[in-house]
Amino acid sequence: MNIQDYDTLQPDDEWRNSHYIFENGDGTKYTVQVTPALYGGINVICNETSLWRWHGENDIKFLCGNNNKWTKRALIQIMNYHDARIAELIEE
C-alpha cells in the first residue's frame, strides 16, 4: 500500500485529524480525510463523495454518498493503518 500522510497535529494529541492519499492493492487511488465524530467514532470522508463512521476493529458504517464494497474494503485497510499509527505516536 502506497500512503502519503499529511498529519497536522502534534504526537501527544490523542485524536488526530489526518489526510491520506493511497492506492490499495487493486490500483484504485483514494483520498481520505479523518476527523473525530461528535458523538463517538471517527468520521471518514472518502474522495469527497462518501461519508463513513469508523468505530475500530473493522467496524465501519456507511452514512451517505457513494456506497460500494470496494470502497468499504479500502477504508477498513486505511483505518487499520491509521489506528496503528496513532497508537505508535501515543506510545512515544
**Which cell goes with 3?**
500512503
Most confident of 8-12, 19-23, 25-29, 53-57: 53-57
Residue 9 or residue 31, greater confidence: 31
Residue 17 or residue 44, greater confidence: 44
Residue 16: per-residue pLDDT: 58
Query: What is the four-CA torsion angle of 14, 19, 21, 26, rounded to 10 degrees?
Result: 50
Question: What length is written for the chain?
Answer: 92
Q: Whole-angstrom Cα distance, residue 43 to residue 33? A: 8
pLDDT tens across 18-37, in order? Answer: 889 988 877 889 999 999 88
> The pTM is what?
0.80
